[in-house]
Chains A and B, each alone.
Chain A
Amino acid sequence: SQQGEEDPQALSIQEGENATMNCSYKTSINNLQWYRQNSGRGLVHLILIRSNEREKHSGRLRVTLDTSKKSSSLLITASRAADTASYFCATASDDYKLSFGAGTTVTVRA
């Protein structure tokens, strides 16, 4: 079973628009990470937010974390065609593994 659940499962936006996706998880965490995966390739780490942080920025990415609701959101601003990919949240707990959700597939239309 997977710890995280992303919402929506798929998202289609116009180039230049913002994309927002959400992640909910079930158990307490040390940190939450977001990864991107282009079709058939490996995952690329985007951003990490610790359990005592509420918001973090990296370039066009903004991540929020609400531990009381066990949820996180990833915002990609001013999207580009190159942002077309699947996005996964992953939670790190005390048991040495990252637990991934099923992902959100983002399509950016030119």
Chain B
Amino acid sequence: ETGVTQSPTHLIKTRGQQVTLRCSSQSGHNTVSWYQQALGQGPQFIFQYYREEENGRGNFPPRFSGLQFPNYSSELNVNALELDDSALYLCASSVKLIKIDDSPLHFGNGTRLTVT
């Protein structure tokens, strides 16, 4: 059983640029969530996708967007990067929606984004 994989592992971008982060969900998982973790903080929920549709969003501006593909892989896109976007971005997959089922999240190791 393959776990959650994320790419790239590290990324350096300049303020104002755009970035795309990628995630492959664990086999058999149909829900993917994205979290932002600033240094020394806990993860903050960005959004969740279920069957290719956004199914919940945290307190993040529209320049944070995502996609989920038929094979349940996912992308996180961030436009107009700001310095405060520097963080570890974590992808997590699960079997069902948390609201319906108590399914724990399986996290990837994240992408470390640095905005200069």
Please give the residue numbers on chain A whose beta carbons come within 8 Å of chain B beta carbons, in ascending order: 2, 4, 30-31, 33, 35, 40-45, 48, 50, 88, 90, 92, 94-103
A101 to chain B, nearest CB (A): 5
Q: Quick check: A97 and B48 within 8 Å, CB to CB?
A: yes
Q: Mark B31-49, 1 if CB is under 8 A from A, else 0.
A: 0010100001111110010
Residues of B with C-beta under 8 A to A101: 42
Q: Quick check: B102 and A50 within 8 Å, CB to CB?
A: yes
Residues of A with C-beta under 8 A to B55: 96
**Extra inter-chain contacts (16) besides given A43-B107, A95-B99, CB under 8 Å:** A2-B44, A33-B104, A41-B110, A42-B107, A44-B107, A45-B104, A88-B42, A92-B102, A95-B56, A96-B56, A97-B33, A97-B58, A98-B43, A99-B45, A100-B42, A100-B44
Residues of A with C-beta under 8 A to B112: 40
B112 to chain A, nearest CB (A): 8
B108 near A: Cβ within 8 Å? yes
Q: Quick check: A45 and B105 within 8 Å, CB to CB?
A: yes
Q: Quick check: A97 and B45 within 8 Å, CB to CB?
A: yes
- Contact partner of A98 among B4, B98, B106, CB < 8 A? B98
Q: How large is the interface on B (under 10, 10 to 19, 20 to 34, 35 or more residues)?
A: 20 to 34
* Top 8 A-B pairs, shortest CB-CB distance: A96-B56, A100-B42, A42-B107, A97-B45, A45-B104, A42-B109, A43-B107, A92-B98
Report if A96-B97 is in contact (Cβ < 8 Å); known contacts: A88-B42, A103-B42. yes
Q: Which residue of A lies closest to B50 (CB)?
A: A96
Q: Quick check: A31 and B4 within 8 Å, CB to CB?
A: no
B90 near A: Cβ within 8 Å? yes
Residues of B with C-beta under 8 A to A103: 41-42
Q: Quick check: A97 and B56 within 8 Å, CB to CB?
A: yes
